Amino acid sequence: AAARAGSGWGTLVLSLDSIGAWLSLVEHLVRDQGVGGSNPLAPIFLSATPVDDRARFLAVVSGHVQGVGYRFFAQERARAHELGGSVRNLPSGAVEVEAEGPRPALEGYLLELRQGPPGARVSDVAVRWLSAPGAPVQDFVVRFS
């Protein structure tokens, strides 16, 4: 059996077979939605719990990085990225930076550390990624030790 629906723009012919096929598709999509299947049209449910993307790194910056304002540059850029941590000169002539915050902000910060302030010549930035501690560090400080 077939039904005709006319709207002036054309005629749509629906058969019981095509209606059954659509119902089967809808049933499949609803089933997939309930078990986390592959339905790309299923609604996405976001958790009320925030995702913790915090990370931390320890970086040693080598090159001509002492006596050129590198620590204050590192502090200013870290605060601009809203990161916590510290920066200090090492006896070797390198600078050590420890920073924590959202991983994307840390990656952007690393790009800036590789450039440094005017007058600095960064030859290497050795980075070791660490897990973020329980309580976030709120400020970024220059250490003089």
Catalytic annotation present for 71: yes
3-class SS at 57?
strand
54, 89, 103, 121: which is the annotated catalytic residue? Answer: 89
Of 28, 31, 3, the C-alpha closest to 18 is 3
Catalytic annotation present for 39: no
Number of H helices and number of E strands within the chain? 3, 7
Rounded to 5°, angle at Cα 22 from 16 and 28:
135
71, 79, 121, 143: which is the annotated catalytic residue? Answer: 71
Active site residues: 71, 89
